[in-house]
Amino acid sequence: MATHKTQSTLVVEHLAKSYPTAGEPLQVLSDVSLSLSAGDSLAIVGPSGCGKSTLLQILGTLDVPDHGSVRIDGQDPFALNENQLAGFRNQHVGFIFQDHHLLPQLTVLENILVPALAQGSPRPERFQHAQQLLESVGLADRRGHLPSELSGGERERVAIARALLMRPSLVLADEPTGNLDRRTADSVSELLLDLPTRHGVILVVVTHSHTLASALQQRRELSDGKLKEC
Ligand SMILES: Nc1ncnc2c1ncn2[C@@H]1O[C@H](COP(=O)(O)OP(=O)(O)OP(=O)(O)O)[C@@H](O)[C@H]1O
């Protein structure tokens, strides 16, 4: 199952981002730089409102910085036009959100295949890969179930499998264990921690969980718009 992309890299230099307000703009990121490669994992921690999700959105190319650069696998995603960027994101980035964003009317297997649908009908290899991923998250026997028939932890597992479908270089997780009880959070964390070695991805996790943060290879606190060692 391991599909190491040895070229996987994330290089971020001097990112800055502010939001307009009625008064002075709110400077959320002032100077963020980092460099990660295949197999690396990083926790981003910090108090509520410090800008963690904003940073994750920019790393995932869902939002644009005011200044600075992001290079994923050596490419500048913000130099692409809108269609190219959507395709690039689909191929290079997997997202895992706290509320998992599964489509309620689709089965577990169909939800995992959603990223491939953006490119038309999934090829048989994709179905096979989706099935393998379902097995790897321990849900092979739930492929025909709807999200409403799953527990919170099981839905999060589906979201993890979906994030891996396109064999991304970069997996971004925003509070992946935030809504889960301790035991379920531990088992989801275990799956996440396995991703960099098992799938050769770069894993960046925003979390308030000390347990999860301390299990990742690297930790940075976002403070005053900058990443600091912690
Ligand atoms: N679209 C927006 N327009 C204006 N302000 C925004 C916008 N998005 C976020 N903010 C503000 O930017 C700051 C950082 O928000 P962000 O969601 O990145 O923080 P966070 O560290 O992820 O918080 P939490 O841990 O509570 O999720 C907050 O003060 C928030 O209110």
Question: Which of 26, 63, 224 for mutating ligand 1's site (highest number of atoms within 8 Å of CB)?
Answer: 26
**How far is ligand 1, taken at its centre, from the CA of residue 70, in Å?**
20
**Tokens describing residue 100:** 């998992």
pLDDT, averaged across the chain: 94
String of b and e for 88-111 (b: at least 16 CB within 10 Å)?
bbbbbbbbbbbebebeeeebbbbb
Cα distance between residue 229 and residue 102, in whole Å: 34
Are residues 77 and 60 in contact, defined by beta-carbon separation less than 8 angstroms? no
Cα distance between residue 121 and residue 126, in whole Å: 10
Q: Which atom of ligand 1 is nearest to the CA of 57?
A: 18
Contact 144 CB / ligand 1 (< 6 Å): no
Q: Over the stretch 3-16, which tens digit does the pLDDT of each residue have?
A: 445 579 999 999 99
Q: Over the stretch 167-199, which tens digit does the pLDDT of each residue have?
A: 999 999 999 999 889 999 999 999 999 999 999
Contact 28 CB / ligand 1 (< 6 Å): yes
Calculate mean pLDDT across residues 150-157: 94
Other CB atoms within 10 Å distance of the CB of residue 153: 19
Looking at residue 75, the DSSP 8-state letter turns out to be B
Residues 6+ apart with CB under 8 A from 82: none
Contact 47 CB / ligand 1 (< 6 Å): no
Q: Which atom of ligand 1 is nearest to the CA of 222?
A: 21
**Tokens describing residue 127:** 């179905």
**How far is ligand 1, taken at its centre, from the CA of residue 57, in Å?**
11
Residue of the nearest CA to atom 17 in ligand 1?
53
**How far is ligand 1, taken at its centre, from the CA of residue 49, in Å?**
5
State the alpha helices, DSSP H only, in the chain.
52-59, 82-92, 108-117, 124-136, 152-164, 182-199, 210-215
Superfamily of domain 9-229 in CATH is P-loop containing nucleotide triphosphate hydrolases (3.40.50.300)
Are residues 29 and 189 in contact, defined by beta-carbon separation less than 8 angstroms? no
pLDDT score for 3: 46
- Helix, coil or strand: residue 95: strand
Q: Pairing relation of β-strands 170-174 and 93-97?
A: parallel
At residue 98 the predicted structure's pLDDT band, cuts being 50, 70 and 90, is confident
Contact 19 CB / ligand 1 (< 6 Å): yes
Q: Which atom of ligand 1 is nearest to the CA of 53?
A: 22
SS (H, E, C) 126-169: HHHHHHHHHHHCCCHHHCCCCHHHCCHHHHHHHHHHHHHCCCCC
Beta bridge partners of 41: 203
Which residue, among 2, 1, 7, has the nearest Cα to 169 in the 3D structure? 7
- Helix, coil or strand: residue 90: helix
What's this model's pTM, rounded to 2 decimal places?
0.94
**How far is ligand 1, taken at its centre, from the CA of residue 175, in Å?**
14
Contact 169 CB / ligand 1 (< 6 Å): no
Domain boundaries, the chain: 9-229
At residue 97 the predicted structure's pLDDT band, cuts being 50, 70 and 90, is confident
At residue 1 the predicted structure's pLDDT band, cuts being 50, 70 and 90, is very low
Q: What sign has the CA pseudo-torsion 77, 191, 143, 175? A: negative
Contact 9 CB / ligand 1 (< 6 Å): no
